[in-house]
């Protein structure tokens, strides 16, 4: 993605995951909004978007954060919401044996006191591979990777979900199911 696409991706993340009301958007309970409405609301707040540009950002986003509906009329963020208006009904799935979580070293004390918690988001995000977890953790400082005993958690009754972009979602991860790699 180039610099313009990155700025637009960040803007879309902000309004589709966290603050839709900041530009007058109203998302449905599954996070969808009409693309035409998004374009109009963005324009009223100084952001110039068009369908082709939105489609390009959706197609080239390396983390596949967004989806366009089958009828090509709506867009949503596929996971990562902090707005209480959205509650995507993800299907429960059986996780792989191990999942990973990338974080920064300065969060470790807190994590090992309370486990991994969703905080302002709806879910804790987990990755199926260490390289993705590393990329995520690098955004926050010196990276550390946590290995999560996902299959064991599932066997103990924890519910896992997977977003359209492959990110694994869970409400929390207790300390006893994780270790530093």
> Strands across the sheet with 178-180, in order?
99-104, 143-148, 178-180
Q: Which residues contact 1 (CB under 8 A, 6 or more apart)?
A: 9, 57, 60, 61, 62
Query: Does 88 fall in a domain?
Result: no
**124-126, strands of its sheet edge to edge:** 92-93, 160-162, 168-170, 124-126
What total number of domains does the chain contain?
Answer: 2
Q: Are 150 and 160 in contact (CB under 8 A)?
A: yes
- Residue 87 covered by a domain: no
- Digits of tens for pLDDT over the chain (181 positions)? 678 789 999 999 999 999 999 999 999 999 999 999 999 999 999 999 999 999 999 999 888 999 999 999 999 999 999 998 898 989 899 999 999 999 999 999 999 999 999 988 899 999 999 999 999 999 889 999 999 999 999 999 999 999 989 999 999 999 999 999 9
pLDDT of residue 84: 87
What pTM value is reported for the model?
Answer: 0.81
Task: Give a yes or no: residue 89 inside a domain.
Answer: no
175 and 123, same structural domain? yes
Please indicate, yes or no, whether residues 103 and 53 belong to a single structural domain of this protein: no
What is the residue-averaged pLDDT of the chain? 95
pLDDT per position as a tens digit, 16-41: 999 999 999 999 999 999 999 999 99
User: What local confidence, expressed as pLDDT, does residue 1 receive?
Assistant: 62
Q: Which of 30, 167, 164, 181 is nearest to 95 (CA)?
A: 167
Domain that holds residue 168: 98-180
| pLDDT at residue 92 in the model | 94
Q: What is the predicted pLDDT for the residue at 85?
A: 86
Residue 92 within any structural domain of the chain: no
CATH classification at residue 62: 1.10.10.970
Residue 59 sits in the same domain as residue 109: no
Read off the CATH number of the domain in which 119 is found.
Answer: 3.20.170.30
- Asked whether residue 84 is domain-assigned, the answer is no
């Amino acid at each position: 993605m180039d610099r313009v696409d990155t700025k637009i991706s960040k803007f879309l993340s902000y309004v589709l995951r966290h603050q839709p009301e900041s530009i007058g958007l109203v998302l449905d309970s599954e996070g969808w909004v009409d693309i035409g409405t998004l374009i109009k609301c963005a324009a009223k707040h100084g952001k110039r978007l068009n369908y082709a540009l939105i489609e390009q950002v959706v197609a080239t986003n390396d983390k596949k954060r967004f989806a366009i509906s089958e009828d090509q009329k709506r867009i949503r963020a596929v996971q990562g919401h902090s707005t209480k208006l959205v509650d995507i009904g993800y299907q429960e799935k059986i996780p792989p044996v191990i999942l990973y979580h990338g974080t920064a070293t300065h969060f470790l004390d807190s994590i090992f006191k309370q486990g991994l918690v969703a905080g302002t988001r709806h879910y804790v995000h987990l990755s199926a591979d260490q390289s993705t977890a590393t990329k995520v953790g690098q955004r926050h400082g010196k990276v550390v990777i946590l290995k999560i005993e996902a299959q064991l958690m599932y066997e103990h009754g924890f519910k896992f979900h997977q977003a359209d972009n492959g990110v694994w979602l869970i409400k929390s991860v207790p300390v006893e199911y994780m270790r530093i790699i």
